[in-house]
Amino acid sequence: MSGTPRRQLSVPAPEPARSGRPPLPPGPYLVVGLGRSGRAVAELLSQHDRVVAYDANPALAGVDTLKSRAEVHLGGDGRELLVGVRTVVKSPGVPREAPVVVEALRSGRTVIGELEVAWRLLPNECWAVTGTNGKTTTVELLGAILRAAGREVVTAGNVGRPLAALVGRIGPETTLVVEASSFQIEDTIAFCPDCAVLLNLGVDHLDRHGTVEAYHRAKLRLFEHQEPSAVAVAPVGVAVPGGGRRIAFGPAGSGAELEFSEEGLCWCGEPLVARSGIRLRGQHNLENAAAAAAAALACGVSAEPLRTALASFKGVPHRLEEVARIGGVLFVNDSKATNVESTVRALEAFPDGGLHLIAGGRPKGGGFRALRPLVAERCRAVYAVGEASEELVSDLSDCVPVERCGTLERALERAVARARPGETVLLSPACASFDQFRDFEARGERFKALVRRLSASDGAVA
């Protein structure tokens, strides 16, 4: 594709953004779960009606500032707090099986999530991205594309900044690009993004959803309420609900509007950008770039700013993030790989092998046998940490040596002892972080700090 024409491609005229939203459900409100999104929505709703804020953790920190705006309760199962409450706002980390949520549903109260509460109060054009893997990268890439096109944009949602924190703080001309997890989507009632993007449907969160089918249904709810003025982007061959205008992406020859191959991207049969013009590493990121390009072009972004963003966007923290090269060994932080499929994609990004894989944490169900082919082909050893250690040993030890290391510190120490110049130490856990860390960011930051300590002692530049 070295001769890719540098011209603006023909794209459909964008429909005007939706500005209408359903009203807030009635208060008083009970907010269940006081993490980042719970605290943000409790503060927001306190401007509208009485708010009771509850978390099952009796020792939860960080809620003191909320006490001036809401009646805060910690510990217990929370069912007694439903008295006088008309709407329950559930944080995504709280399962629907929690006693207070079960009782709220049984009694006919409205149960809704922070994502939709905030969306109802924001008139902005809203794009939403979901999928098993690649959400954060694609959200931030879409943000980069829209900025290159001269638009004001804010990324939020599961990517880290609660949508509720933006109400009253951004102008109506700002486009929202939202990362939407299955936990957030299952708590929606009328959420209707102007552009909805499904990246892929794998296996994840079986510990929460129970079955693959239930997990996939939660993802596809993102499209249910779209109208013909909206855009629905999905992999070719995947049927999505709702009335949005379908745009497909898929491999070359699939007949999708946006096709990808090792040569690059094509839009409606015409070359768009060569693979060398996409900075992100790995086949999975080629697919993420295809999904982002399909969404942007379908919504009226021209080809030039799209090419500019694809050429300059280097990814997000904790996703195949190159931390340092020490003594010829590359250290890569992929802490955001919280499921097996994501780790498969990380391993695929290193075709030359020589990998020392640090994996483990809190498993999500389904085991690690799907890693076996790539581990056998590309890894010299696996260093198991956290609650998943025994399962990793059971599933992978006949492929390569698997060491029980317990902690991230010990795993890195053992990997450094084994690794040779030209090889890579890769943190790609295939597990949640909650057995030893607050979240995947904390796990990734700890890995980077440990590597930089090595780098300083080695004299290398991180």
Catalytic residues: 135, 158, 205
Cα–Cα dist 263/261, whole Å: 5
**Is residue 105 a contact partner of residue 90, using CB atoms and an 8 Å limit?**
no
Place of tokens 């923290």: 317
Cα–Cα dist 245/13, whole Å: 12
Nearest C-alpha neighbor of 408 from the set 449, 371, 375, 462: 449
Residue 288 among known ligand-binding residues: no
Cα–Cα dist 454/437, whole Å: 21
**Is residue 166 a contact partner of residue 154, using CB atoms and an 8 Å limit?**
yes
Cα–Cα dist 437/107, whole Å: 36
Q: Which bin fits 75, alpha (ψ -120 to 50), beta or left (φ > 0)?
A: left
Exposure letters 248-283 (e unless 16+ CB within 10 A, then b): bbbeeeeebbbbbeeebbbbeeeebbbeebbebbbe
**Is residue 27 a contact partner of residue 45, using CB atoms and an 8 Å limit?**
yes
Residue 134 among known ligand-binding residues: yes
Residue 136 among known ligand-binding residues: yes
Tokens of 444: 């990734």
Residue 132 among known ligand-binding residues: yes
**Is residue 63 a contact partner of residue 39, using CB atoms and an 8 Å limit?**
yes
Residue 135 among known ligand-binding residues: yes
**Residues in the chain, total:** 462
Cα–Cα dist 178/118, whole Å: 12
Residue 90 among known ligand-binding residues: no
Nearest C-alpha neighbor of 80 from the set 104, 58, 51: 104
Residue 171 among known ligand-binding residues: no
**Is residue 115 a contact partner of residue 40, using CB atoms and an 8 Å limit?**
no
Nearest C-alpha neighbor of 241 from the set 217, 220, 216: 220
User: Would strands 329-333 and 321-326 be described as parallel, antiparallel, or unpaired?
Assistant: antiparallel
Cis preceding linkage at 28, omega within 30: yes
Total Cβ atoms within 10 A of residue 22: 13
Place of tokens 């990734």: 444
Q: Three-state DSSP class for 362?
A: strand
Cα–Cα dist 33/36, whole Å: 9
Which residues are documented as binding site?
A: 131-137
Which residues are documented as binding site for ATP?
A: 131-137
